[in-house]
Chain A
Amino acid sequence: MQAIEAHTGRMAPLRRNDVDTDQIIPSDFCRRLTKTGFEDGLFAGWRADPDFVLNREPYASATVLVAQRNFGSGSSRETAVWALRDWGFAAVIAESFGDIFQRNAGKNALLAVALGADAVGALLDHATERPDAEITVDLLDRQVRSEVGVWDFAIEDRARWLMLNGLDEIAVTLGRDAAIRAHEAARPPWLPRTAAPTRAVPVP
């Protein structure tokens, strides 16, 4: 993962609650085998409306998305994070996030930062009145800074550490292999195992 300390950019205001990941990227775009190139699927349904915020400049080229409560709820599809990233977003600010989405964001250097409703409201108004205004999301200082306010945000220490250092989490975990082996040796014998695989069969 690419390391990230802070991001500064313009905002796109999305004044909605409960933006589920099916809206962020419809299922049809989730059939690909790749990990990049999902920008065409981002809000594909909503972008059919010419008035949708991402169809208008300067919002279309903004890099910080601001939404309200429960952004990224629903499906666990990581393509939602990839689509936001591929479109050009580096950060999402919302009142709260779907748990799986926020976790996925952290694995892909997309800053997903929760602020209080007042702060989000102020940022939405600011982005609407001053489309060219810039905002800084600072992971190192755990702080969002804009002309209309400065707010601290909370983030899990481990997620922050992985992002700041751009670490390969699997490599980190494999460094604890002895502990994993010790646990495996002590697992109860009744726990189920799956069956041996059968030979490869082509898709009919």
Chain B
Amino acid sequence: MSDSGTLVEKIWQQHVVDDGDGQDLLYIDLHLIHEASSSQAFDGLRLAGRQVRRSDLTLAVEDHNVPTDTLAVTDPISREQLGALRASCAREGIELLRHGDARQGIVHVVAPELGLVQPGMTITCGDSHTSTHGAFGALALGVGTTDVEHVLATQTLALPRPRTMAVDFTGVPGAEVTAKDLMLRMLAEVGANGAHGYVIEYRGEAVRRLSMEGRMTMCNLSIEAGARAGMVAPDDTTFAYLEATPRRPTGSHWDDALAYWRTLRSDDDARFDRVLTLDVGAASRYVTWGTNPGQAVSLDGAVPDPSEFADPGQRAAAQRALHYMGLQPGTLMRDVAIDVVFIGSCTNSRIEDLRVAADVLRGRRVADGVEMLVVPGSMEIRAQAEREGLHQVFLEAGASWRFSGCSMCLGMNADRIKGASRCASTSNRNYEGRQGPRARTHLVSPAVAAATAVAGTLAAPGDLN
């Protein structure tokens, strides 16, 4: 890292507890946990006779392994995993949002919604999509279970200083181009490894115009480029969002916090280790064709021919991907027929995403033979959507309206794709087997997902009659 002040450097310096043995020991302001990566960490604590240091800076949520079609958990392994989290939270005095609670949902949706994610904070969670919280100008890092145990015990992590990267989006794309499209465009440019080891700061007018929901989508997908984290400097959009959250600072604390938050930006002369400039003025809607998120193309485009890739590794990967996906080079993306549409996940399940999808589906029907799942990111979003009547739109279109959870994003709970079915999904990973053992995933925005459900093939809303 350079000496000048980038946003991440400022936050980093504020949290260095000790720099004694070659790495910085960083204080963690908020530790988010869920049932799928914490049980072994709690076991480790117990075996060592240790306790959770700061249960008051820890929030647990049940999300990965819960059913979304019922509030009863019948799967024995899920019951065991949830039961273990409940017992650990009760023993250690940790707030837990349980399956069925009015505030339960996907951990990366719920924590910001409550107002627990604020600018300048450090946040960790045993989940790679922790990068989501960078949308607030926080440094948010995904970690493994051993690090979860370390944070539970010490509220710190020893970390090497990251390299810094600015992604400058230039130009302002059309309103139909969402944060999801911008990120798939970036991933197509840099690849699934293109930001390896960096903390990214996203900048430019196209970012400033995004809502907090859009910025969360953007930062969420940072990990898909191999980045350690993604961030957007806080601004009035951030502050307005926070002001409406239930757990924001109040009274003079709000004024003090706000004054501090306004200082949280990279200095004009701050030097980044790498700057990537992407002109998105003419950007279009993006979808993936392969088996990693970097294998993306404009919806207006076609499945690429592997021979187009100069790099032998990329060429071999493209060949493997097309074989797995059952696609032929040159096929127009709009000619790709879809069996399942999934709207959900920590990437795209927020109220704005559901509104966009409902606008497309209003007065229309999901195509014959297509199954559509709409899984709100939280029970609060579900309630909000129902207040707005969005659930009626989904149900009348023939979609399934669900409770909240990670659902079909990751093939861990009951919501899985059967066989080699093809899914248009608003989630974040199109890996082999991600949504089910042979499932074929195309990552899309909520608008494209909804239009695709109606058309039966990958489609934009404008393609519908």
Contact = CB atoms under 8 A, between A and B. Distances in A.
Q: Do A and B bind each other?
A: yes
B150 A169 contact: yes
Nearest to A156: B160
Given A98-B226, A103-B147, A194-B56, A203 B22 contact: no
Interface string B45-65: 000101000011111000001
B168 to A, nearest CB: 23
Contacts of A100: 128, 142-144
A180 B27 contact: yes
A27 B411 CA distance: 6
For A69, A103, A157, A170, the residue with the greatest tally of chain B CB atoms inside 10 Å of its CB is: A170
A189 B226 contact: no
A184 B56 CA distance: 13
Interface stretch (A31-39, A50-58, A142-150): A31-39
Contact of B20 (A75, A96, A176): A176
B39 interface: yes
A78 B143 CA distance: 9
A68 B313 contact: yes
Contacts of B254: 190
A188 B14 CA distance: 11
Interface stretch (B190-198, B371-379, B396-404): B190-198
B167 interface: no
A195 B93 CA distance: 10
A99 interface: yes
A104 B144 contact: yes
B89 A183 contact: no
Given A23-B433, A33-B84, A197-B94, A107 B147 contact: yes
Contacts of B292: 18, 20, 73
Nearest to A157: B22
A22 B153 CA distance: 28
B87 interface: yes
A77 B249 CA distance: 34
B389 to A, nearest CB: 29
A165 B223 CA distance: 31
B144 A81 contact: yes
A33 B29 contact: no
Contacts of B127: 76
A174 B153 contact: yes
A133 interface: no
Contacts of B160: 156, 158
B89 A170 contact: no
Nearest to B40: A35
B36 interface: yes
B456 interface: no
B90 A200 contact: yes
B17 interface: yes
B83 to A, nearest CB: 5
Interface string A24-54: 0011101111110000000001000000000
A104 B247 CA distance: 33
B189 interface: no
B240 to A, nearest CB: 17
B333 interface: no
Interface stretch (B69-77, B175-183, B343-351, B447-455): B69-77
B226 A70 contact: yes
Contacts of A179: 17-18, 25
Contacts of B121: 191
Interface in A72-121: 73-78, 81, 96, 98-100, 103-104, 107-108
B86 A70 contact: no
24 contacts: A17-B313, A18-B292, A31-B81, A31-B412, A35-B40, A45-B437, A70-B196, A70-B226, A73-B292, A75-B410, A76-B126, A76-B143, A99-B196, A104-B145, A157-B22, A158-B23, A158-B158, A176-B17, A180-B156, A183-B15, A197-B89, A201-B98, A203-B73, A203-B82
